[in-house]
Amino acid sequence: MNPATVQELIWAGVLVALAAFWPMMSNGYWLGIGVDVMMYTALATSWMLFSGPTHYISLASAAFFGVGGFVVGSGMSDYDASFWSMLALSAVIGGVLAALIGLATLRLSGVYFVIFTLGLAEMIRNLVSWVQNNFLGSRGLYVLTEFTDAHLYWMLLVTAGCVYLLGWIISRSRLGFALRIIGGDETVARHVGINTAMAKVILFTTTGVFGAIVGAIIAPRWSYIEPNQVFSPQLSFFVVIMALLGGSGRLWGPVVGVIPFLLIWNWVDSNFPNQSILVLGVAFLVIVYFLPHGFVGRIEQLRARARGR
Amino acid sequence: MKQAGAVLSVKNITKRFGGLVAVSNMSFDVAEHEMVGIIGPNGSGKTTMINMISGVFAPTDGRISLRGRLISDAAPQIIAREGVGRTFQLVRLLPGLSVLENVMAGAVYGHKRRWGREAEDFAHSVLERVGMDAMSHAPVSSLTYIDQKRVELARTLAGEPKVLLLDEWLAGLNPTELETGIELIHNLRNEGRTIVMVEHVMDAIRSLCDRCVVMSSGAKIADGTTDDVLSDQDVIRAYLGDDDA
Ligand SMILES: Nc1ncnc2c1ncn2[C@@H]1O[C@H](COP(=O)(O)OP(=O)(O)OP(=O)(O)O)[C@@H](O)[C@H]1O
Ligand SMILES: [Mg+2]
């Protein structure tokens, strides 16, 4: 991932400002899509902060997202805690969990890392379900708030904006440069003096923090939290596909993957509900055969060609 | 004694890979401004020795110290920051980065920790020294083999190492490139750098190294001035086989 430019930051600011008007122009179905877009933009962008430069594909997004939803659900229904305090707590727990996973997986690379993160996320899901069913609530996890879809949309927009800003700062920092070097050759990274373990854990932790925050913000939308559902591994795959479809070369990549994917997914899901999973497969094929560097790669290719002429 | 002033000191180093003893009870010292060659037949443990100095893996036994500080149990990034820089037998460049960025990588995390403009300017000056500044914005995939080697050397120099380890830096070059390469290392020598070079090219060893350490089957079989070592009977036997000696 290349260092982001000041121009990109200005464009991002303009886009965030424009996006803030969406709830005024839409409702119901389209506002719902807007919430989905913001949710996945925040998740895929934060996933990219770590996986973009390092090429470590993490399938643990659902674990962090689920922690956010579960902490809000459990805190609000079992302990009468406020939404905001649980939002803060879930960010902390998501961060700690990610740091632990990061430390445990440091020595793994390639496909081992992918499988390990997926397995770990599944383990956490089962563990939380088990604890919930046997020790905590018999009453179920209710998240009853005054928030409307528009409120959730704005909260997610702010979160996505923060992820982008953090990514922008990191991409221009020593840490961001270190991650690109790690992505190129970890042995070289260590031999030029980079503490590769530290760099990877820091970035993975930010992914965990934001995953949990997004999970916490979206919890009120469901009103009733079912652990098995908020930890669903499908979310992890969605995040990866959208990020790769957009392209990992630029910080703004995920957003151009999220929007088309969600529009197609929703259209197929409402017209051919039994075929929706097919979209995932087709998206994978499209990425592998036609868009190995995502839409971003294609856009930059066209731009370079236009400049060359 | 020379040992007291040693910049790099290797003491009774042994490395086992399972049952294989790759390096066996090696000891040698490198003094400041000295250029030491490590020579020996294929598979005699030279790269393994370099790998232990730079921290790729820890020795099974023994101690390595840099200016009196023990480094043999430290991680590569710590050793790099302490001032040990190296190149790799098979060139390792960072494929997604430009030539300039490859060299900046060496300048940013070393003991000087330059950043931004300063790191860029410094990287340019190092590239100039190895004769590669004109290519600074090229992608590394477009470079010829010797140019890749020069960029890798520049990256290592950008970390301003106190000890430079070169693992067969001259291997794989054609005769004209070899001349350029030897001249480049000659310049480093004249700058008074402390260098350990693993090399098979005997002409280079003769013209560049003050001293040579010879390895055979993981053990040290000779250590002395280059001329003495190269006329040593054991060394000739190790290189040419028993029958010829
Ligand atoms: N990581 C490793 N794991 C197992 N065995 C190894 C490892 N690295 C080196 N060896 C073995 O150690 C021995 C010494 O290898 P080394 O690469 O140090 O030799 P070398 O002197 O550098 O040879 P060359 O001149 O061919 O580069 C060889 O038998 C090699 O197979
Ligand atoms: Mg070797």
Q: What are A227-270's pLDDT values in tens digits? A: 888 898 889 999 999 998 888 778 888 888 899 889 888 888 88
Tokens of B168: 């067969």
Residue in A with minimal Cα distance to B75: A190
**Taking Cα atoms as reference points, which of A113, A134, A123 lies closest to residue A231?**
A123
- The reply to whether B173 falls in a domain is no
User: What is the number of domains present in chain B?
Assistant: 2
> Residue with structure tokens 């709830």?
A23
pLDDT (tens digit, 0 to 9) for every residue of chain B, 245 residues total?
444 578 999 999 999 999 899 999 999 999 999 999 999 999 999 999 999 999 999 999 999 999 999 999 999 999 999 999 999 999 999 998 999 999 999 999 987 888 888 999 999 999 999 988 888 888 898 899 999 999 999 999 999 999 999 999 999 888 888 998 999 999 999 999 999 999 988 888 999 998 999 999 999 998 999 988 888 888 788 776 655 44
Tell me how far apart the alpha carbons of residues A256 and A251 are, in angstroms, rounded to a whole number.
Answer: 10
Helix (H, G, I), strand (E, B) or coil at B35: strand
ipTM of the modeled complex: 0.91
**What is the reported pLDDT for B26?**
95
- The reply to whether A84 falls in a domain is yes
- Domain shared by B20 and B65, yes or no: yes
Q: Whose CA is nearest to atom 9 of ligand 1?
A: B48
Looking at the complex, report in whole angstroms how far the Cα of residue B238 sits from the nearest Cα belonging to chain A: 32
Out of A63-77, A264-278, B162-176, pick the least confident.
A264-278
- The reply to whether B206 falls in a domain is yes
Burial class (CB in 10 A: 0-12, 13-18, 19+), B186: middle
Q: Whose CA is nearest to atom 28 of ligand 1?
A: B43
- The reply to whether B26 falls in a domain is yes
Q: Strands A224-225 and B20-31, how do they pair? A: unpaired
Looking at the complex, report in whole angstroms how far the Cα of residue B234 sits from the nearest Cα belonging to chain A: 35
In sequence order, what DSSP letters do the residues of A273-296 get, joined into one string? GGGHHHHHHHHHHHHHHT-TTHHH
Q: Which tops the pLDDT comparison, B34 or A138?
A: B34
- The reply to whether B200 falls in a domain is yes
Tell me how far apart the alpha carbons of residues A136 and A78 are, in angstroms, rounded to a whole number.
Answer: 8
Helix (H, G, I), strand (E, B) or coil at A144: coil
**What is the reported pLDDT for A251?**
82
Tell me how far apart the alpha carbons of residues A198 and A247 are, in angstroms, rounded to a whole number.
Answer: 25
Burial class (CB in 10 A: 0-12, 13-18, 19+), B218: buried
- The reply to whether B183 falls in a domain is no
- Domain shared by B112 and B77, yes or no: no
Q: B188: part of which helix (H) or strand (E)?
A: helix B175-190
**What is the reported pLDDT for B3?**
46
In this structure, how many other beta carbons lie within 10 angstroms of the beta carbon of residue B162? 17
Q: Which tops the pLDDT comparison, A206 or A53?
A: A206
User: What is the number of domains present in chain A?
Assistant: 1
How close is the Cα of B176 to the center of ligand 1, in Å?
29
- The reply to whether B171 falls in a domain is no
Per-position b or e across A39-57, b if 16+ CB within 10 A of its CB: bbbbbbbbbbbbbbbbebb
Q: A19: part of which helix (H) or strand (E)?
A: helix A6-19
- Domain shared by B79 and B157, yes or no: no
**Interchain pair B55, A190: CB under 8 A:** yes
Helix (H, G, I), strand (E, B) or coil at B154: helix
B17 lines ligand 1 (CB under 6 A): yes
| Residue-number span of the structural domain to which A99 is assigned | 6-230
**What is the reported pLDDT for B245?**
40
- The reply to whether A249 falls in a domain is no
- The reply to whether A256 falls in a domain is no
Q: Whose CA is nearest to atom 1 of ligand 1?
A: B17
B213 lines ligand 1 (CB under 6 A): no
- Domain shared by B63 and B95, yes or no: no
- Domain shared by B42 and B64, yes or no: yes
| Residue-number span of the structural domain to which B26 is assigned | 1-84+196-245
Query: Rounded to the nearest 5°, which phi and psi values hold at A190?
Result: -65, -35
Tell me how far apart the alpha carbons of residues A233 and A228 are, in angstroms, rounded to a whole number.
Answer: 10
- Listed residues B112, B141, B161: the one ending a domain: B161
- Domain shared by B137 and B157, yes or no: yes
CA A114 to chain centre: 16
Do residues B25 and B12 touch, judged by C-beta distance below 8 A?
yes
- The reply to whether B181 falls in a domain is no
- Domain shared by B79 and B103, yes or no: no
Query: For the residues A51-65, what does the mean pLDDT come to?
Result: 91
- Domain shared by B69 and B100, yes or no: no
In this structure, how many other beta carbons lie within 10 angstroms of the beta carbon of residue A182? 22
**Interchain pair A194, B54: CB under 8 A:** no
Do residues A97 and A208 touch, judged by C-beta distance below 8 A?
yes
- Listed residues B161, B177, B209: the one ending a domain: B161
Average pLDDT, chain A: 88
Mutate to test the interface with B, among A179, A192, A198, A250 (most CBs of B within 10 A): A192
Q: What percent of chain A has pLDDT over 90?
A: 43
CB contact set of B195 (below 8 Å; sequence gap of 6+): B34, B35, B36, B163, B164, B165, B166, B185, B188, B189
Helix (H, G, I), strand (E, B) or coil at B177: helix
Out of A25-34, A40-49, A89-98, B56-65, pick the least confident.
A25-34
Tokens of A149: 């879809």
Looking at the complex, report in whole angstroms how far the Cα of residue B59 sits from the nearest Cα belonging to chain A: 17
Tell me how far apart the alpha carbons of residues A212 and A180 are, in angstroms, rounded to a whole number.
Answer: 25
- Domain shared by B95 and B156, yes or no: yes
**What is the reported pLDDT for A216?**
95
Band (A100; pLDDT cuts 50, 70, 90): very high
CB-closest option in B92, B115, B159 to A193: B159
Q: What percent of chain A has pLDDT over 70?
A: 98
**What is the reported pLDDT for B1?**
41
Tell me how far apart the alpha carbons of residues A230 and A251 are, in angstroms, rounded to a whole number.
Answer: 26
In sequence order, what DSSP letters do the residues of B67-108 get, joined into one string? TTEE-TTS-HHHHHHHTEEE--SS----TTSBHHHHHHHHHH
Beta-bridge partners for B84: B163
- The reply to whether B223 falls in a domain is yes
**Taking Cα atoms as reference points, which of B20, B91, B83 lies closest to residue B55?**
B83
Starting from the edge strand earliest in sequence, which strands make up the sheet with B84-86, in order?
Answer: B84-86, B163-167, B194-198, B35-39, B211-216, B219-225
